Amino acid sequence: MAFSRVSPFRYGSLSSLIPYVSSPSSLSPPVRTFSLFASISTPQPSPPSLLTASPKASDRWRPMCLYYTQGKCTKMDDPTHLETFNHNCSRELQVNAANFQHLQSQHLDFFLVLDLEGKIEILEFPVLMINAKTMDVVDLFHRFVRPSEMSEQRINEYIEGKYGKLGVDRVWHDTAIPFKEVIQQFEAWLTQHHLWTKEMGGRLDQAAFVTCGNWDLKTKVPQQCKVSKMKLPSYFMEWINLKDVYLNFYKRRATGMMTMMKELQIPLLGSHHLGIDDTKNIARVLQRMLADGALLQITARRNADSPENVEFLFKNRIR
């Protein structure tokens, strides 16, 4: 099947409508209980067997406000802005109750779908919180991340090459904050959702990260922590590699998100390699697997005494 192409819609053409806020970046927005999505997504419905009824024709697709996903939208009272940009796309990840007939009882209450962006340093940190019982999106944490060991010229070149072609380079420059601040805000978000507390430390409470591969948490987060001169947080000690669960559940190999979506006949939404869009698409694969009856279990765990050593818990896994 053919995947949808990236929309030619660019933020640069609507510069007068884009909100900008210069408030202190350390302030974390309040907990929200709706699902959020990325900016220049091409509207493509998922298979009717998984999603609820199609939205009304009047609810036309609009690009997501990426200031809003980071709690920095200042134009929520501007009718033109609200008409141009979407601020609530929960319907795109709603599931049909009929699919619950195969839903297994999970050992966890929540799945935290994570897909980082950035090869040199982390540039984007998006997490979607999925209810394991209902498959609904509970909340989103999304931050753009400013590199700490790159010159401004190198950062500008890096961001232009990464996000300029997607039309979101301006919002990145307006909102990106250092990784340490991102982690501080993320920990506040985890605490607000009662998934982890700084006082107790340790692993997540009845929740686990879900990634498409081991790179995000096995390799990239520890690398970034070293660059940012910080200790690896305790909640990054274990995770679920969706590719390994996919292999053992469907008995077929999928090397990445695009392969899983193609085999499950799930159309691509948004821009591949825009972290928030990839996280959303991985969440859609997760929802489909849950609806099909998959049981998600931890696939990788760090050694508590030697965190650099990772044990892979599935005999059959993607290497």
Query: Would you please indicate which residues are annotated as catalytic (active-site) residues?
Result: 117, 273
Closest CA to 125 of 243, 217, 193, 30: 217
DSSP string, the chain: -PPPPPP---GGGGGGG-----S-TTPPPPP--S----SS----PPPTTTB-SPPPTTS----B-TTGGGT----TT-HHHHHHSBS--GGGG-B-GGGGGGPPPPS-SEEEEE--B-SSS--EEEEEEEETTT--EEEEEEEEEE-SSS-HHHHHHHHHHHTGGGT-HHHHHHH-EEHHHHHHHHHHHHHHTTS--TTT-SS-SSEEEEESSSIIIIIIHHHHHHHTT-PPPGGGSEEEEHHHHHHHHHSS---SHHHHHHHTT----S-TT-HHHHHHHHHHHHHHHHHTT------EEE-SS-TT-EEE--SS---
Q: How many angstroms separate the CA atoms of 296 and 245, rounded?
A: 7
